[in-house]
Structure 1
């Protein structure tokens, strides 16, 4: 899909309300391009452990979105997310090449 000048459209999300009120810095931007995930990130935390917490919080929020928008429960959605994580850890489909920004 392209814009009026044939520039591809990017459907960007709005920042969360607290970010608009208080500021902050973006730590992760993920997009789907031709069916594949494209991302860029900023290390942001002194301890990588914090990324684990962030990823689990993200998975829980995703599960709640599925519960709100489909007939699936949040618990069922979270279980499917965990299955995907377990499968990807066991047999990575793409080791990835994120572009780090600091």
Structure 2
């Protein structure tokens, strides 16, 4: 289980390194990107759909830096905890299957 978690983390870090270091350093100027002006789409969206009117104007607060960092790390912690829970469930299921196979009489 620890090896599988290490493999997943290595894969995530490898893909993250590609996106963080390799892709921004590539010269993309040779691609003929279309120039589209989509600013007119903002005028079509009504203001009441943004739901800003539900949030009171007096309710503004800043989170402490340590809490902001903890919440930013949760996107990594939650999938790892889910993977550990699924792996424990799988180990338990395989143990029960093995025990039930051993208890069955073997036909010869």
Query: How would you bin the TM-score normalised by the shorter chain?
Result: under 0.3
- TM-score for both structures, normalised by structure 2: 0.23
Between Structure 1 and Structure 2, the one with more helix by share is 2
**Higher RCO, 1 vs 2 (CA within 8 Å, ≥6 residues apart):** 2
- TM-score for both structures, normalised by structure 1: 0.24
